[in-house]
Amino acid sequence: MTLSGGFTGAAIVAGIAGWPVKHSRSPRIHNYWLQQYGIDGVYVPFALAPETAIEAIRMLPALGIRGMNVTVPNKEKAYKAMDEVDRWAERLKAVNTIVVRDGVLHGANTDAFGFLESLREAQPDWQADAGPVVILGAGGASRAIVAGLLDAGAPEIRIANRTPERSDAIRDEFGSLVRPVPWERRADALGDATLLVNTTSLGMEGQPALEIDLAKLPATSMVYDIVYVPLETPLLAAAQARGNPAVDGLGMLLHQARPGFREWFGTDPVVDQALRDHVLAAL
């Protein structure tokens, strides 16, 4: 038994490895679930410098730590430190969830899962094969979302990125269903799109605004912004103003956390409004 919000010497230990890690919202998510389900466990932030991240991660079994989430800039290092990886981690060459099982390090990548689950939560009748998708940005989040959408059956993914070499690299890696479009032409790519996803940092608090004219986007198409500070970005406000269904970035963050929690602590956790409110209260 645990005290309210507390844990004992027998607690299962998990956490998150980032550098810096102090901005991570993950401790708030997992510790909320631990308390909610009365589990004797704790989820702590680990500041792991990228230079020594591999060594540190290899020590998890010796330390008796059940697992970790991994965030920027350690996801690629974590991939290299694993004994085994799932198909998403293999595809993305990046690990965001580590599970220690019988002393063996298993790596998973749950970002694509988190994206698809949050999309389906917001729009249960959404069909990946309904038409082309437009993605803005070509960083790590974009790659995970491309992998997820292709797996789900998207027929065409147009990627607009300021630096064209990065969108070309995604096409080279993921194949010809990925079509790079020039950043300047991003508004023209919206014509028959069923989904627009912003994966850039534009529109985030303290960053420049994302400028895109939505005039060509069909009225029923979904607009998804992975930015969640602020929760309602100017892009989502513009989408809503013209009647497009809009999905904020908090859902991806919450849903990507589920598989790790289930593996470490043995309970499949629920993403609900109370959890959203709990995380929002600290944003």
The catalytic residues are 75
* 98/60 Cα distance (integer angstroms): 9
Least distance CB 168 / ligand ATR (angstroms) = 11
Nearest to 112 by CA among 143, 72, 84: 143
138 makes contact with ligand ATR (CB under 6 A): yes
* Residues in contact with 201: Cβ distance below 8 Å, sequence separation at least 6, in sequence order: 207, 227
**113 vs 129: CA distance, rounded Å:** 17
Q: Looking at beta carbons only, is 111 or 117 nearer to ligand ATR?
A: 111
Say if residues 99 and 38 touch (Cβ distance below 8 Å): no
Helices and strands of the chain, counted as H and E runs: 12, 12
Residues 26, 45: Cα–Cα separation, whole Å: 8
Closer residue to ligand ATR (CB): 65 or 204 = 204
User: CB-wise, 36 or 201, nearer to ligand ATR?
Assistant: 201
| Residue 141 sits in the site that holds ligand ATR (CB under 6 A) | yes
Q: Which of 20, 38, 175, 208 binds ligand ATR (CB under 6 A)?
A: 208
Q: Which stretch binds ligand ATR (CB under 6 A): 15-23, 50-58, 84-92, 162-170?
A: 162-170
- Tell me: does residue 163 bind ligand ATR (CB under 6 A): yes
Among residues 11 and 229, whose Cβ is nearest to ligand ATR? Answer: 229
CB of 198 to ligand ATR, least distance (A): 9
Which residue, 125 or 165, is less far from ligand ATR as judged by CB?
A: 165
The dihedral formed by the CA atoms of 30, 36, 40 and 42, expressed in degrees to the nearest 10 = 20
Judged by CB under 6 A, which of 140, 203, 249, 260 binds ligand ATR?
A: 140
Determine the Cα–Cα distance for residues 167 and 189; give it in Å rounded to an integer. 14
Q: In the complex, what is the shortest distance from the CB of residue 256 to ligand ATR, in angstroms, rounded to a whole number?
A: 13
How far apart CA 46 and CA 175 sit, in angstroms, is: 37
Q: Write out the two tokens for 69.
A: 């989430």
CB of 159 to ligand ATR, least distance (A): 9
Rounded least distance, CB 65 to ligand ATR, Å: 25
- CA dist 137 and 144 (Å) reads 12
Q: Which residue is nearest to ligand ATR (CB)?
A: 139
**Segment near ligand ATR (CB under 6 A); pick from 21-29, 78-86, 161-169, 260-268:** 161-169
Q: Does 201 bind ligand ATR (CB under 6 A)?
A: yes
DSSP H or E segment with residue 136: strand 133-136
Q: How far apart are CA 213 and CA 238, in angstroms?
A: 9
**Interacting residues toward ligand ATR by CB under 6 A:** 137-142, 161-163, 166, 199-202, 208
